[in-house]
Amino acid sequence: MQDLSLHILDIAENSLAAGARRVEIRIEEDMQADRVTIEIVDDGCGMDEEMVKRALDPFFTTKTVRRVGLGLPLLAEACRMSNGQLCLQSCPGGGTTVRATFQRSHIDRKPLGNMGDTLVTLIVGHPEVDLFYEHRKDGAHFSLDTREIKAELGNVPLNAPQIASALRASIFSGLGELGV
């Protein structure tokens, strides 16, 4: 994968495939600590201890359409290549947490990529799911919670064309203010 936003999209899609009804994505860019931290938390079906261990094996997958599962192993490798690490926590019925850290200044750290498109894809593609996004960058902050947006809209779906367009503009504006 070319950038971290595509890894985030892949993991979030896996969360949805595991039955998640809520996905939380948090990104913290800490210039002083020279760290980028990405955390994705879901309320999906979770994994037992054995499956957590196997999830980082590129030759293991629960999918029936292919015989390899590269999402988490590739993200773990991206972390290792940039002086970071990947932590995977899960329990059956308790959801899953993926936490990836990277040395921000490392020459091999992948760029963050287009988080705006990633968020719009998740929200418009899965309007029934609650998505929380928070991005912190040296004291500045942008967040979005689709539960709040849904409460304001009532019965209007998030993927209605005018709503999707307004969401896109709001997301890109908020990320732009952070310099993302």
pLDDT in tens, 48-102: 888 888 777 766 555 544 433 468 889 999 999 999 999 999 999 999 999 999 9
Q: Which of 69-78, 104-113, 157-166 has the lowest mean pLDDT?
A: 69-78
pLDDT at 126 over 90: yes
Rounded CA-CA distance 161/175 in Å is 21
Q: Which of 19, 6, 41 is nearest to 121 (CA)?
A: 6
Q: What are the residues whose beta carbons fall under 8 Å from the beta carbon of 53, sequence distance 6 or more?
A: none
pLDDT at 51: 84
pLDDT at 1: 76
pLDDT at 61: 58
Q: How is residue 64 written in tokens?
A: 């029936």
Specify the CATH number of the domain 4-178: 3.30.565.10
Determine the angle formed by the axes of helices 115-125 and 4-17, rounding to 10 degrees: 20
pLDDT at 52: 83
pLDDT at 69: 47
Q: How is residue 60 written in tokens?
A: 């293991």
Instruction: Report yes or no on whether pTM surpasses 0.75.
Output: yes
Q: Which of 15-19, 97-101, 119-123 has the lowest mean pLDDT?
A: 15-19
Identify the band that residue 176 occupies on the pLDDT scale cut at 50, 70 and 90.
very high
Kindly state the average pLDDT of the residues 30-56: 91
pLDDT at 171 over 50: yes
Q: What percent of the chain shows pLDDT beyond 90?
A: 80
pLDDT at 170 over 60: yes
Please state, rounded to an integer, the average pLDDT across all residues of the chain: 91
Q: What are the residues whose beta carbons fall under 8 Å from the beta carbon of 54, sequence distance 6 or more?
A: 60
